[in-house]
Structure 1
């Protein structure tokens, strides 16, 4: 979901403070053709004719044909609403959000709490009397299945928060006390200006780390939100497993640390599988029409060699940096 921070009360906009990617022409797209077309299988089933939408089953990586026939492989995937940051609430695999089609409908969840706090912010005198011009930018907010730090796997009493492109981590945030938490300062900064060059320092914040305590270089987020749409719900977990298996082998001789999680809806289920890769120095990039057949090539080209796959690209989620 998007934060919906737009409140066009005054003329003018806050200009984004981006570095590196000033235009689409500066994005490091791979100059070599990707070996797959959109949603193309690596091992086409020779005894099955393509469906009317172009879907062809894969002998090595099967998916239900009834879902494959509902994938859009022709409409343009670019043109999504531009965002500046991505806020990810880590609710774990047992979070109530996975039981609902809309994560903001979970009344004791962090996204609901954030929306409530945002409504209070919009009504506050500090906001209404502000001389700051409105912004036409926004930020993306989703949940993911990373277990909350130091919390039992079956509870959602607290969550952790990740913010990109900073790769900053805020542990143990209680949604019921969000307004009193230090993270509220971060959210208010983003509501004022998603392009802000700095975020408030929070005493217990850290870099995003793996289970061994190493700072990570990239985080892969795959839409697995089955209650929102069956296409991502069935195809997404296959892609998550493919990324984990591929990274285990391809990073053996690399110092890169990469995490992979399932995430909630972020738009475009008809373009399943949907993937966001946040990587230091590259920013966050969204891909669509991904099959698990393609994951090895995505790891090699994007994560290991820093090249963006234009054939599958849906747009920029975050720039590499927002510092001036």
Structure 2
């Protein structure tokens, strides 16, 4: 009865509506099995003895429809911190770039029609050479900015966040002459594809527990298929919304211009995500939550629920 009510409420709110799916040509074909004990999405027995299960105490929401649960956003700023867990709200931790960037955005005179997603990440700042600086990835611009410091947050915001969303690849050489850059340098994103796992345990333990399990399985499958780190990097990130439907995964493909969100991801789903999304660019609809704005032509955007 409770399960039925949750599904009904979700349908009333517009969740689960097939119109929110990408065009049919982007959808992966579901596996077909006559055995009711085999999951048509993963091909695994239910319950599965091959892949690591999540602890039962996590209380993951399994009934409410997740299709349409991604809040619309136009740009994703990913800050390298070298950690996999952070303060509960990264924008409130003084002294960090996330804090300074949040202040810069709130003080901006000109606002944009889209929202920006800002997350910390486990990436290490290998390109920065300035003390207390960090590397920052920006998508869909598909660039990496190095030597970013908290005191340059306003310049960073004006140069890279407040600008119009790109409609073609960024001309890096053209931007290098801007005096506001200071010591900041930027490069093309070195990662062809990204697999982001929400691991923000201080925000919600479900993401903190599920992410390491998923990371281990992603590493296993990627190594098996001889896919290197710069071909598909597995990265831990801070809160993205959806801890009730952990594990939460974002796959950035097509040179960072297509962001595909999955929810209720289990280790059983990892192989099909790698094979269908990372390799073939297809969407696994059973676990699909939504996508970054402009990922698909005529994309329908809908999200009212606050996870």
So what's the TM-score if we normalise by structure 2? Answer: 0.74
In the TM superposition, residue 321 of structure 1 has moved relative to its aligned partner by 8.7
Counterparts of 1:81 and 1:27, CA distance in 2: 24
In the TM superposition, residue 41 of structure 1 has moved relative to its aligned partner by 9.7
Q: Secondary structure at the match of 1:303?
A: helix
Q: Does residue 188 of structure 1 match 2:175?
A: no
In the TM superposition, residue 175 of structure 1 has moved relative to its aligned partner by 1.4
For residues 309 and 321 of structure 1, do their structure 2 counterparts lie closer, same or farther at Cα, with a shift above 3 Å needed?
closer
Q: Does residue 218 of structure 1 match 2:193?
A: yes
For residues 207 and 44 of structure 1, do their structure 2 counterparts lie closer, same or farther at Cα, with a shift above 3 Å needed?
same
Counterparts of 1:37 and 1:101, CA distance in 2: 37
In the TM superposition, residue 119 of structure 1 has moved relative to its aligned partner by 2.2
Q: Secondary structure at the match of 1:276?
A: strand
In the TM superposition, residue 86 of structure 1 has moved relative to its aligned partner by 1.3
Counterparts of 2:171 and 2:39, CA distance in 1: 43
The answer as to whether partners of 2:140 and 2:166 remain within 8 angstroms in 1 is no
Counterparts of 2:240 and 2:54, CA distance in 1: 22
Hey, what does 2:246 align to over in structure 1? 272
Between 109-118 and 73-82, report the one with greater CA deviation: 73-82
Counterparts of 2:25 and 2:72, CA distance in 1: 15
Counterparts of 1:33 and 1:156, CA distance in 2: 51
Hey, what does 2:28 align to over in structure 1? 30
Hey, what does 2:120 align to over in structure 1? 143
In the TM superposition, residue 292 of structure 1 has moved relative to its aligned partner by 1.3
Hey, what does 1:64 align to over in structure 2? 55
In the TM superposition, residue 173 of structure 1 has moved relative to its aligned partner by 0.5
For residues 77 and 145 of structure 1, do their structure 2 counterparts lie closer, same or farther at Cα, with a shift above 3 Å needed?
same
> In structure 1, which of residues 91, 107, 123 is the aligned counterpart of residue 81 of structure 2?
91
In the TM superposition, residue 103 of structure 1 has moved relative to its aligned partner by 0.9
Q: Secondary structure at the match of 2:270?
A: helix
| C-alpha RMSD of the superposition | 3.3
Counterparts of 1:237 and 1:149, CA distance in 2: 23
Hey, what does 2:91 align to over in structure 1? 104
In the TM superposition, residue 120 of structure 1 has moved relative to its aligned partner by 2.1
In the TM superposition, residue 37 of structure 1 has moved relative to its aligned partner by 6.5
Q: Is there any run of 5+ residues in structure 2 with no aligned partner, and where? A: 1-19, 33-37, 177-184, 298-307
Q: Secondary structure at the match of 1:170?
A: strand
Counterparts of 2:249 and 2:210, CA distance in 1: 11
Give a deviation string over 1:125-156, Cα, whole Å, max 9, x none: xx3xxxxxx7542221111110112569xx99
In the TM superposition, residue 92 of structure 1 has moved relative to its aligned partner by 1.3
So what's the TM-score if we normalise by structure 1? Answer: 0.70
Q: Secondary structure at the match of 2:88?
A: coil
Give a deviation string over 1:43-79, Cα, whole Å, max 9, x none: 545xxxxxxxxxxx85641322111xx1111111122
In the TM superposition, residue 171 of structure 1 has moved relative to its aligned partner by 1.1
For residues 277 and 312 of structure 1, do their structure 2 counterparts lie closer, same or farther at Cα, with a shift above 3 Å needed?
same
The answer as to whether partners of 2:67 and 2:289 remain within 8 angstroms in 1 is yes
Q: Is there any run of 5+ residues in structure 1 with no aligned partner, and where? A: 1-21, 46-56, 128-133, 210-215
**Runs of 4+ in structure 1 displaced over 6 angstroms?**
none
